[in-house]
């Protein structure tokens, strides 16, 4: 199986990592097309496009202008799995992965990215911000979904063939999963749902649900779960499988506290 995760807005290029191999993103040529477009935009245009503050717009304008599309490690590049920080990655907690865990993760986890398309965990990336929902027009394409078309989904399908599987575990947000939505037609797609008890009802609470996605991803990867039926055994951090609330492709996990 292959697991899908969204990236995070918060990036970490400071925490030291040692003796970890790296790989090169598959779609660097397309990333360069995006960067070329973004370099032409002034900070105020970036601010309007991405609905971010002037300070963040200046920061990201600088990032675009210093982006090189690196194919080797440098102070301004590092493996994607160690770059992204946030609720999902707090749950993933990759710092606790062994070398064997990382080797397995390289084949079974894919990170969806507005700039890079599909990232393997050890692909080296440079600092950027480009959310998949951004309405960036490139040549004849009207937004990033249009720009990436089926490239991302097809890349994942090829990776599934390599590991002789047809199962995708979607732990990405809707914004990012929509970039590979055609996988619904071509794979056995499983989209887990996490709900917490709040005021007497089970609800999807964003912060907890994001962290739970990371927790499940880590559990699958570290335990090398291969059968979809084994997902119901997930019971980390108080979550438990609810058969009554689940459907075949949307297992529901509840937590009472």
Q: Are 217 and 91 contacting, i.e. CB atoms less than 8 angstroms apart?
A: yes
Q: Please enumerate in sequence order all residues whose Cβ is within 8 A of that of 190, keeping only pairs 6 or more positions apart, or say none.
A: 167, 168, 169, 170, 228, 231, 249, 250, 251
Residue 72 above 90 pLDDT? no
Q: Give me the pLDDT at residue 196, please.
A: 96
pLDDT in tens, 15-39: 888 889 999 999 999 999 999 999 9
What is the C-alpha separation between 102 and 81, in angstroms, rounded? 9
Region 171-182 average pLDDT? 96
pLDDT in tens, 74-121: 888 999 999 999 999 999 999 999 999 999 999 999 999 999 999 999
Residue 128 binned pLDDT confidence (cut-offs 50, 70, 90): very high
Q: Give me the pLDDT at residue 74, please.
A: 82
Q: Are 156 and 168 contacting, i.e. CB atoms less than 8 angstroms apart?
A: yes
What is the C-alpha separation between 144 and 137, in angstroms, rounded? 8
Taking the CA atoms of residue 203, residue 204, residue 206 and residue 212 in that order, the dihedral angle to the nearest 10 degrees is 120
Q: Are 176 and 144 contacting, i.e. CB atoms less than 8 angstroms apart?
A: no
Widest CA span in the chain = 53
What is the C-alpha separation between 28 and 117, in angstroms, rounded? 9
Question: What is the pTM for the complete model shown?
Answer: 0.95
Q: Are 26 and 234 contacting, i.e. CB atoms less than 8 angstroms apart?
A: no
Reduced to 3 states (helix: H, G, I; strand: E, B; else coil), residue 87 is: helix
Instruction: Give me the residue label for tokens 């990405």.
Output: 172
Q: Give me the pLDDT at residue 27, please.
A: 97
97, 99, 133, 101: which is closest to 7 by C-alpha?
Answer: 133
Residue 148 above 90 pLDDT? yes
Residue 244 binned pLDDT confidence (cut-offs 50, 70, 90): very high
Alpha-carbon separation of residue 157 from 39, 45, 185, 189 (angstroms): 32, 36, 11, 12
Q: Are 211 and 256 contacting, i.e. CB atoms less than 8 angstroms apart?
A: no
H or E element at residue 217: helix 206-223
What is the C-alpha separation between 248 and 182, in angstroms, rounded? 19
Q: Give me the pLDDT at residue 143, please.
A: 95
Region 178-182 average pLDDT? 96
pLDDT in tens, 35-66: 999 999 999 999 999 999 999 999 999 999 99
């Amino acid at each position: 199986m292959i697991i899908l995760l969204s990236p995070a807005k918060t990036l970490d290029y400071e925490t030291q990592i040692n003796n970890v191999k790296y790989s090169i993103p598959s779609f660097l040529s397309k990333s360069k097309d995006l960067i070329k477009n973004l370099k032409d935009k002034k900070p105020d245009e970036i601010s309007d496009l991405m609905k971010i503050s002037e300070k963040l717009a200046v920061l990201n304008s600088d990032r675009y202008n210093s982006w090189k599309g690196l194919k080797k490690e440098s102070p301004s590049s590092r493996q994607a799995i160690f770059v992204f920080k946030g609720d999902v990655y707090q749950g993933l907690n990759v710092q606790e992965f062994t070398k064997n865990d990382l080797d397995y993760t390289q084949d079974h986890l894919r990170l969806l990215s507005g700039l890079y398309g599909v990232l393997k965990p050890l692909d080296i990336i440079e600092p950027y911000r480009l959310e998949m929902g951004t309405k960036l027009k490139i040549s004849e394409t009207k937004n990033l979904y249009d720009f990436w078309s089926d490239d991302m989904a097809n890349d994942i399908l090829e990776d599934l063939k390599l590991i002789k599987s047809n199962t995708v575990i979607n732990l990405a947000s809707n914004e990012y999963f929509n970039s590979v939505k055609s996988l619904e037609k071509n794979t056995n797609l499983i989209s887990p749902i996490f709900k917490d008890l709040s005021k007497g009802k089970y609800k999807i609470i964003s912060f907890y649900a994001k962290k739970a996605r990371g927790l499940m991803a880590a559990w699958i990867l570290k335990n090398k779960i291969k059968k979809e039926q084994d997902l119901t055994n997930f019971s980390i951090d108080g979550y438990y499988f609810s058969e009554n609330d689940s459907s075949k492709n949307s297992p529901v996990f509840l937590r009472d506290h």
